[in-house]
Structure 1
Amino acid sequence: MPTTLHPSSSRPAALSPLLGMAWVDNQAIPVSATTLMLAALLILVAVAALGLAWLLQAQASKTKRLQAELLAQRTWSKSAMDALPALVLMHGPDGDVLDTNAYGRQHPIAAEAMLVAIKSNDLTVTPDGEPEPYEIDYTDDDGTHRQGMLWSQPLLALSGERTGSISFLFDITAFRDAEQAARVTERGLREIVQRVPVAVFSILKDTHGVRHVTFAAGDVRALFGLELTDLLGAGDVLQERPLQGRIHPDDVAAFGRLISPVTTDLKPRSLDFRAFGREGLRWIHGTLTPQALPDGSLRLIGYFIDTTELNARNEALRIARDVAERASKAKADFLATMSHEIRTPMNGVIGMLELLGRTPINAEQRELLRAVEDSAAVLLQILNDILDFSKLEAGDLRLDETPFDPRVLVDNVVSVMASRAQAKGLSVHVAIDATVAGSLVGDNVRLRQILLNLLSNATKFTERGSIAVRVVVLADDGAQQHLRVSVSDTGIGIPREKQAILFNPFTQAEASTSRRYGGTGLGLAICRHLVQLMEGSVELSSEPGHGTTVGFEVRLPVERREAAAPAGLRGRHAVVRLVSADTGTALSEHLKSLGMTVELADSAAPLREGMAASLLFVEPADTESETRISAHVVAVTDEPLLSTGIELRQERLFLSANPLKWQSLVRACLNVLELRDDVAETHGLHPSSEAVATDADPPPSSLADLPTHRGHILVAEDHPVSQKLILRQLAILGLSCDVVDNGRDALEALSGNDYAMLLTDCNMPLMSGYELATAWRKHEAENRSPRRLPIIAMTANALAGEAVRVRNAGMDDVLSKPLQLLPLSQKISQWLPEQLASTSASPLGLHDLGLLTGLAGDEVPGLYDEMLQAFSSASHDDLVELRHCVESGDPAAAALSLHRLLGALQLFSNGALLDQGRGLLEALHTGQAREVLPQLPSFARDVELLLSNLNGQPADKPVN
C-alpha cells in the first residue's frame, strides 16, 4: 500500500535535499518505492566514491614518502661511499662501470687500473667461499708508484644469479713502506746483535704452559755455547734441557724462575747469572718483561747480555773502593791523631802567650810576643784549612742554616781584617745595597769563613791601594734573594793562564808565593767547595798589575725583609755631602736601610738656603755646611778609628769610612741624635752610646770587656801542663775549680759536691770523658735530679764526627783545644748565665795582676819555670810508669804512658827526640808492639837528658 509521509515524521538529514520538493504547502505527496530505492542507490554510490578517493589519496602520500626515503637512502649511501678513503666501483656482469665514489672520480687513473685488474683476474674466493683480496701495483695521477689492496664482492639477485660486483681498492703504499722499513730495521738489528754478545728474544707461553719462541736474534753461541736451533723443538717450542745444561749449577734455580714467571706477577725482573759460553764461564745479565694477553697466554720479552768484562771492572772498582775507604779511614784516623797531637801543644802555646801578653812587659818584648802570636795563629789556620778540606773531601761537612743579619756578618769579618790591612797602609771600603734583606737564612759561619778567606787573600797580595767588599742583589722573588758578594783589591793581579788552577787544592799562582806570602793554597779550594755546597758559584777576574776581584753568588731565603734598625731613626732625613762619590753612595745605601730618606749633595756647590735635615754627613774639614743647615753633623773620615768605628773629638762626632761599618753608622746616628738603641736593648746588648771612644780613651785590650763569672767548677784533665793553664784561665774569669786527672775521680767528686759545671777532657785514663758524661747523665736520671749539670768537652780532635760523639755521650757543648780566654768565657756565659757577676767589667789590663802574681817578676819563678816544673814532675812519673810497662811486657799501657809524655814534651821540644817518640807510639799501635818495647828504655834516657838540660842540672842517674 502506498506510504504517506507526514511533515511531523522523522527524516534523515541526508534525504532532505532530495525530498525537499515533496512538500508543497505542507501537503502530503505520495512517493513510490522505486524512487526510494533509486535514492538509496545514489547515496551508496556517493559514499563509495568518497572512500575510493580517500584511499587513492593515502596511497599517493605513501608513495611520495617511500620515494623520499629511497632518495634519502640513496643520498646517504652515496655520501657514505664518497666518505670512504678508498676507491669504490660498481659494475655490471660484463664489467662495465655503473657507478663510483668521490675517490674514484678524483683518481681516474687508479680507477682505470683497478678496472683492468678486475677484468684480467678471475674473482677468487677463500675455502669458506669468501672473496679473497689481492694486491696490485699502479701509477697514480702524479706519477707516483702506488700499491693497493683490491677486494671484490659479487652482487646476487634473489634467485642467486650474479648481477654485478662492487670492488674496493685500498691504498697500502704507506703500510708497505713501513713494513719495508721495519724489515730493514730488523735486519740491521739482527746484524748488530749478531756482532755483540747479546741475545734478544720473545717467548709466547700459551694457555697450556708451552713456551714458543716467536722471535730470537743475537749471538746465542757466544753466551751459551749453543746454536739457536739447539734450543727449538717442533713448532718453535723452547727446549729447556739444553739451555739449563749450560747454566752454572748454583744459578739454575734462579734462572728457571726468571724464564717461568707466574701470570699474577707481571713486574719486570732481572738476574745476573753464570753460563758456559763459547769462551768458557761467562757472567750474563738477563732482563725479562712479562705481558698478559687477552686469551690467557703470556708473552715474555727480554734480552741476555754478556757482562763478564763489566763484572771484572766492577770487582776491580769494588777492590779499589775498599782500598780507598781503608785509606780514607786511615787518613781520618791520621787527621784525628794529628789534630790532637798538634792542638795539644798549641793549647799550651797560644794559651800561655795570651796570659803572657797580660803581664807587664816592655815594648820590645810585646812586639816579639805579637810576632809569636801571629805565627801561632798562622799555624792554627793552616791546621784548620787542612781539616776543613779533608772534611769537604770526605763529605763530612754539613751546612747549619740559621737566620743571620748579612750587614752584621760583613761588619764582623771586615773588623777582623781591617787592622791588618790598615797596618799595610791599605784602605778598606764596604758597600751593601739597601735592598739586601735584614735577615737571611744560611750557614753564617761558613759564609763568614768564605768572606774572611777572600779578604785575607786580598790583604796578603796587596801592597798599596785599597780593598773593597761589595754585596749586591741580583734577583729577588720575594722568598729568596740572589746575592753576589765580591772582594776587590789593587794588588799584584794574576795572569790569565794561572787563574783556572787557583781553585785547585795546594795550588798557588807562582812557586814563590808560598815562600813569600805563606799559606797552603787551600783557601780558594775550600771557598769553592763551600759555595758549591750552598748551590752557588765562584768567579775570579784579574789582570796583572791591576788587582783581582773574586766574587761568589748564592741564593738565600729571606727571613725578614727590613733591617734591624732602631725605631727612632726611621722616617728621618739625611743629607750626604762628601767628596768621594763611592763613599757617599755606600753611606746613602746604609742610611736607606735604616729607613731614612737621603739626599746626595754636591760637595763642590754650596748648600741651598732653607735646607733641613735630621743628619748631615760632611768631610772633616767642612765646617761651613753645618752653618747653612739645621742638622746634627757627623764628620766622615778616611782615617781608621778605634774598633767602634766612631770617635768624639772636641764635641764633634767622627765616623770612619775606612771601613764604613753598619754598626758604627747606627751608633753614630744614635749618639748625635741622643736616642736609645731599642734594638740592642731588646736583645740584651749594651747601649750603643757606651761604645763611643774619646780622645782620652786608652787603646782597648784585645780581650776587652771579658765578663767576670761566679761559681765553682770541676775540671777533669789528665795532663799537668793543661791543668795549670785551665787553672790560670778560670782564675782570670773569676771562677774557682777543683781539678782531677781521670774520669773515675771526677765521677766520685761529682757525687759528693755541688758544681756549677764540668769541664772534661775526652781522653783520660781509667774512665774517658765520654764514659764520664754518660755515667753522670744516668746518675741524674736515676736520682731524678732537679738540675741538669752543664758538661763541656775539651778536645784536640777537630773532626766533624767528634762533635756528634760528644753530644751522643750526653755532653752539652765542646771547646776545641787550644783553649783561649774569650771562647772559654763565651761558653761559660752561655751555660752559666745566672753565674755572671759583671758584664761591663773594665778591660783586663795591668790592674788584674793580682790574679797573675806568679806569672812574672824576677823575684819569683816565671811562667815558663812553673810550667817546666810541672812538666818535669809529671814526666818523672810517666817515665817510671813507662819502664814498669816495658818490664811487664804491656804494650797498651806503654802506649798510654808514652802518649801522656809526648803531650807535654811537645811544649819543650820539637826535634828528633819528639819524632822518635811519635814513631814509637805509632809502632805500639801496630803489630810491631813487641819489637818496639825494648827500644823504650833508650828513649826514656834521652828524655831524662832533655829534662836535665832544661833544668840546668847534670843527668847523674836515671829515673827509676
Structure 2
Amino acid sequence: MTLTATIEILAALLSLSGVLALILLRAIWLQQRRLKQAEKRLRQLALDMEAHRENERRTRATEQSLREITWHVPVVVFVVRRGRDRRPRLSFLAGNLRALLGLNPQDMLESDDVLREWPFQDRIHPEDRERLRQHLRQAMRHAQATSFDFRACGPESLRWLHLAMVAHRQGTGETRWVGYLIDTTPIHTHNQTLRAARDAAERASRAKADFLATMSHEIRTPMNGVIGMLELLGRTSLDADQHELLHAVEDSASVLLQILDDVLDFSKLEAGNLRLDPVPFDPRTLVDNVVSLSAGPLHRKGLDVAVSMDSMLAGRLLGDDVRLRQILLNLLNNAGKFTEQGRISVTMRVLGDDDQHQRFRLSVTDTGIGIPPDKQIGLFTPFTQAEAWTARRHGGTGLGLAICRHLVQLMGGRIELTSDVGVGTTVTVELRLPIVQREVDGPAGLRGRHAVVRLASAELTHALDGYLAALGLSVEVMPPSHPLRPGVAADFLFVDAHDHDSAKLIAARVIAVDATPQALASPDADRERILLGAHPLKWQAVVRACTLALQPQESIAPRVARDNFSAPATPARSPRSGRILVAEDHPVNQSLVRRQLDLLGWSCDVVDDGQAAYEALCRTGYALLLTDCQMPVMDGCALAMAWREHETREGHTQHLPIIAMTAHMLGNDVARFHQAGMDDCLGKPVQLHALEEKLLAWTARAAPLDARATTGEPPALHGDMLRLLLETSRDDLSAIEQALAQGNASIAAQRLHRLLGGLQIFTGEAALAQALQRVDELHGDRAGEALRQLPADLADLRKLLDRLEHPVSNGAD
C-alpha cells in the first residue's frame, strides 16, 4: 500500500468519527431538552394538582357555606341530572329538607344517587298533587323553566311551598335541572289577609252602591211627583206672585235633583260601573236641546246666551249622546251659577277630519267672576270648589267638573279650563268621534239656494252663516252699514227685526231675526216675513224658518190669529188615533203621567201592575207601553219579557215600543232593561220635554211641543195647514217616484223625510212608522233593498192622504 493511499484512509476515518461525534452530541442535546420539558410538565402538573386541590377545597367550602345558609333559611337547593340511562339522579342537595317536608335526603333516594319516583308525593296536599305532577312532567319532557306554588305537610303543620326549576342541556346528551324549594307560608298568609281585606272593601262598596240605589229610588219617587206637578202647575193660570214663587220652588227642586245626580254619577264612576253607550246622534240638535233646557234659568237671571256651530261639523256622529248632554249641561249650569251679568257662549269647532273621524272642540265661555290661577288646578278634584264661600253662596257639591273629566276621559278626549279673575272662564272639551253621516238633515229644497245676511251683530251673523252653509246655501254678508249693491238677487234675506227698509230693495223671502229676550222660541210667519228668534239662535229654529220660507206666501195664515192663543191657560189635547198604556203603581205618578200625556195630545190607560198591563195588551192594541220597573205581581222587566214572548208566539208583525220609567240609575240597569226586551228608558223624575223626545223617537205621532203648547189650532188654521200639506205632499210623492226611477236613494230619503214631517202633525197611523224606518234604510247599507220596497210604502201613504182629504167618506172622525 502506498503512502498516499494510507493517508486517504486515515482522512476518511477521521471524517466519519466527526460525523458520529456530531450525531452523538445532538442526541445528547435532544435528550436533555426532553428531560427539561418533562420536568416542566411535572412542575405544571404539580401546580395544577395544587390548584385542583384548592378548587376542591373552595368548592367544599362553598357547598358547606350553602348548606349552612340553607339549613338556617327555609329553602332547599338541588341539582338533578339525567343521563343516557334516562334515570334521574340527585347530584346536589342543600337545605333543611326535614324542616320543609319532614324528610331526610336518604328518604328521596332509591339507590345510590337515583331518585325515587315522586319521592314526597304523600306529603303534597291532595288538591295540588295532580297539578304539581303535570308541571313536573312538562318540565322534564320539554326541558323548560317552570314554577309552581303548592301546599305540603310539614313536620308541624300545612305549609305553602314555592318550586322553581330551570333546565340545562349538556353536549354529552345529559340534562341537568337546577332548582329550589322555599317556604312561602308567611307570604301566602299575608296575601290571604290582603284578599280578605279586599273582599271586605268590595262588599262595603257593593253595600254602598246598593244603599245609593235604594236611596235613589226612594228620593226620586217623591221628586217625580214634585217636579212633574210643578211643571204642570206652571202651565195653568197664575198671577205674577204665584209665578215667582213657582219658579223659586222649581229652581230649588232642580238643584236638589242635580246634587242627587252628581252624587250618583260620581259613585258609578268611582266603582267603575259607568259604561258608554255609543249611538248615532246629531251634534247640532244635541246642543240645541241642552241650550233649550238651560236658557230659561239663564234668561231669568238676565244673561244672554249665544250658540255657534261650525259649518263643517258632520250631520251625525257616533258617541254617547246622553253623556255628552250631561257634560254640556253641567258646564252650562256651572257657567250660569258663577255669572251675574253678561253672557254665556257655546261654540263647537272642527279641529280635524280624516274622512272617518272628526275631532272637534266644544267650548262654554262665560263672563263670570273668574278663578285665580292657584285655584284652577284642583277644580277637577272631587268635592273641590275654588273658594269655600262658593258652596254657601252658589250651592253645588264640587263634583260637576270631576264627573265631566271622568266622562271625557272615558270617551278618549280631554278637558281644559282657562280663566281670568273678573273676566270670565272658558271650559273646552276636545273629542274625536266616528262620522256616521256627513250631510245634515234638512229640507232638500234648500241646497243650492242663495241667502243674503244683513244683521248688525257680527257674532250673530257668524253663527247664522255656519247654520246656512251646513244646509247647503251660499251666503253673502252685507252689514246694514253698507248699502245694498244694485242688482243683488237672493232667495232669502235675513235682516234685523226692526229693519223694514231692506226688504223693499231686494226681491227675496224676508226672515227677520229678533235677538231680544221677548223673541218667540219657535219661528213664526205671516204673508210678509218670517220671524226668527235668536235669544239664542238655534239650529232647529233656523231650519224651521228656512222651511217656512220655502212655502208660498199666500198659504201662510196671518200671525195675528196665532198670537191670540199663544199663551193659553189650559192646553187642550189634540186627538190621536192610538193610545198609550201606562203601568205604574204609585198614585201620584199615575196622575202625573196621565196629565203629561194629555198635555202632549195622547190618550192613555193606566194600570197598577205588570200582570194587569199584560192582560190589557192582550185585549187592546196600544201605540206604546210606559212601564215602571218596580211593581207588585209582575215588575217591568218581567212584563217586557212576557210580552216579547207573546209577540213571538202569536206572530205579531208590529213591534210594540216599551219604555221603562225608572228611578234606578246605578249599575247595569239599562243593559238589563234592554235584555228584557225594552226599547228605551226614562229616568225619574219624568219631565215633559224628555217624555216628548221619547214619544217622538218611538211613535212618530207627536208634534213638536212648542207647536202644541196652545189651546189647540183654530179650525180655520188647521184647514189651511191641511190644504198646504196635501199640495206639498203630492209634489213630494212625484219627486220620490222620480228618484225611485233614477235609483237615487239619497233624494228619495230627503223627500220622504220631508213628507213624513208634515204628516206626523195630522195623523199617527202605522204607515208612518214603516215609512220612517224606510228613511233610515235609504241612508244605510240596505239602500238598494229599501228602494225596491218603497213603492208599497208610497201606496200606503197615498191612501193615508186620501183619508185626510176626505175624512167623512172614509169613516174617519
1:848-867 aligned at under 5 Å gives the runs none
**CA gap 1:297/1:689 in 2 versus in 1, 3 angstroms:** farther
Which residue number corresponds to residue 799 of structure 1?
666
Residue 720 of structure 2 is aligned to residue 843 of structure 1 = no
Deviation at 1:330, TM superposition (A): 1.6
Residue 447 of structure 2 is aligned to residue 570 of structure 1 = yes
Which residue number corresponds to residue 21 of structure 2?
none
1:661-680 aligned at under 5 Å gives the runs 661-672=538-549
Which residue number corresponds to residue 367 of structure 1?
244
**CA gap 1:404/1:255 in 2 versus in 1, 3 angstroms:** closer
Of residues 504, 511, 536 in structure 1, which corresponds to 2:381? Answer: 504
- Structure 2 CA distance for aligned equivalents of residues 565 and 714 of structure 1: 33
Of residues 256, 273, 276 in structure 2, which corresponds to 1:399? Answer: 276
**CA gap 1:342/1:265 in 2 versus in 1, 3 angstroms:** same
- Structure 1 CA distance for aligned equivalents of residues 706 and 424 of structure 2: 44
CA contact (8 A) 1:648 1:695 kept: no
Which residue number corresponds to residue 129 of structure 1?
none
Gaps of 5+ in 2: 1-32, 45-61, 714-813
**CA gap 1:603/1:587 in 2 versus in 1, 3 angstroms:** same
Deviation at 1:457, TM superposition (A): 0.7
- Structure 1 CA distance for aligned equivalents of residues 282 and 407 of structure 2: 19
Deviates more, 1:285-294 or 1:657-666: 285-294
Which residue number corresponds to residue 324 of structure 2?
447
Which residue number corresponds to residue 55 of structure 1?
none
Of residues 173, 191, 202 in structure 2, which corresponds to 1:314? Answer: 191
Of residues 350, 361, 385 in structure 1, which corresponds to 2:227? Answer: 350
Of residues 535, 541, 548 in structure 1, which corresponds to 2:425? Answer: 548
- Structure 2 CA distance for aligned equivalents of residues 360 and 487 of structure 1: 36
Residue 469 of structure 2 is aligned to residue 592 of structure 1 = yes
CA contact (8 A) 2:584 2:608 kept: yes
Secondary structure of 2:708's partner? coil
- Structure 2 CA distance for aligned equivalents of residues 689 and 432 of structure 1: 30
Which residue number corresponds to residue 402 of structure 2?
525
Deviation at 1:273, TM superposition (A): 2.1
- Structure 1 CA distance for aligned equivalents of residues 534 and 514 of structure 2: 6
Which residue number corresponds to residue 884 of structure 1?
none
Which residue number corresponds to residue 150 of structure 2?
273
- Structure 2 CA distance for aligned equivalents of residues 286 and 358 of structure 1: 78
CA contact (8 A) 1:708 1:733 kept: no
CA contact (8 A) 2:566 2:710 kept: no
Secondary structure of 2:368's partner? coil
Deviation at 1:288, TM superposition (A): 4.0
**TM-score if structure 1 supplies the norm length?**
0.58
- Structure 2 CA distance for aligned equivalents of residues 837 and 482 of structure 1: 35
Secondary structure of 1:502's partner? helix
The structure with the larger Rg is 1
1:41-440 aligned at under 5 Å gives the runs 203-211=80-88, 254-255=131-132, 257-261=134-138, 264=141, 269-274=146-151, 283-288=160-165, 297-300=174-177, 307-440=184-317
Alignment-mate amino acid for residue 763 of structure 1:
Q
- Structure 1 CA distance for aligned equivalents of residues 606 and 146 of structure 2: 66
Deviation at 1:509, TM superposition (A): 2.0
Alignment-mate amino acid for residue 307 of structure 2:
V
Deviates more, 1:634-643 or 1:559-568: 634-643
CA contact (8 A) 2:139 2:145 kept: no
Gaps of 5+ in 1: 1-117, 127-131, 133-185, 677-687, 849-960
- Structure 1 CA distance for aligned equivalents of residues 157 and 303 of structure 2: 75
Which residue number corresponds to residue 468 of structure 1?
345
CA contact (8 A) 2:565 2:710 kept: no
Name the structure, 1 or 2, with higher relative contact order (CA <8 Å, separation 6+): 2
Deviation at 1:338, TM superposition (A): 1.5
**CA gap 1:741/1:647 in 2 versus in 1, 3 angstroms:** closer
- Structure 1 CA distance for aligned equivalents of residues 426 and 548 of structure 2: 36
- Structure 2 CA distance for aligned equivalents of residues 606 and 734 of structure 1: 49
**CA gap 1:714/1:491 in 2 versus in 1, 3 angstroms:** closer
CA contact (8 A) 1:223 1:278 kept: yes
- Structure 2 CA distance for aligned equivalents of residues 597 and 566 of structure 1: 15
CA contact (8 A) 1:204 1:211 kept: yes
Residue 629 of structure 2 is aligned to residue 762 of structure 1 = yes
Deviates more, 1:533-542 or 1:338-347: 338-347
Secondary structure of 2:341's partner? coil
Secondary structure of 2:254's partner? helix
Q: Deviations over 1:586-621 (max 9, x none)?
A: 443333333344455576655665655555555566
CA contact (8 A) 1:743 1:766 kept: yes
Which residue number corresponds to residue 42 of structure 1?
none
CA contact (8 A) 1:796 1:818 kept: yes
- Structure 2 CA distance for aligned equivalents of residues 368 and 378 of structure 1: 16
- Structure 2 CA distance for aligned equivalents of residues 324 and 415 of structure 1: 43
**CA gap 1:710/1:337 in 2 versus in 1, 3 angstroms:** farther
Which residue number corresponds to residue 679 of structure 1?
none
Alignment-mate amino acid for residue 518 of structure 1:
G
Deviation at 1:332, TM superposition (A): 2.6
Residue 371 of structure 2 is aligned to residue 494 of structure 1 = yes
Deviation at 1:533, TM superposition (A): 1.1
Alignment-mate amino acid for residue 407 of structure 1:
R
- Structure 1 CA distance for aligned equivalents of residues 347 and 321 of structure 2: 17
Secondary structure of 2:286's partner? helix
**TM-score if structure 2 supplies the norm length?**
0.67
Residue 527 of structure 2 is aligned to residue 660 of structure 1 = no
Deviates more, 1:414-423 or 1:772-781: 772-781
- Structure 2 CA distance for aligned equivalents of residues 745 and 603 of structure 1: 65
Deviation at 1:689, TM superposition (A): 8.3
Deviation at 1:444, TM superposition (A): 1.5
Deviation at 1:453, TM superposition (A): 1.0
Deviation at 1:768, TM superposition (A): 3.9
CA contact (8 A) 1:541 1:549 kept: yes
CA contact (8 A) 1:645 1:664 kept: yes
CA contact (8 A) 1:793 1:815 kept: yes
Pick the structure with more helix per residue.
2
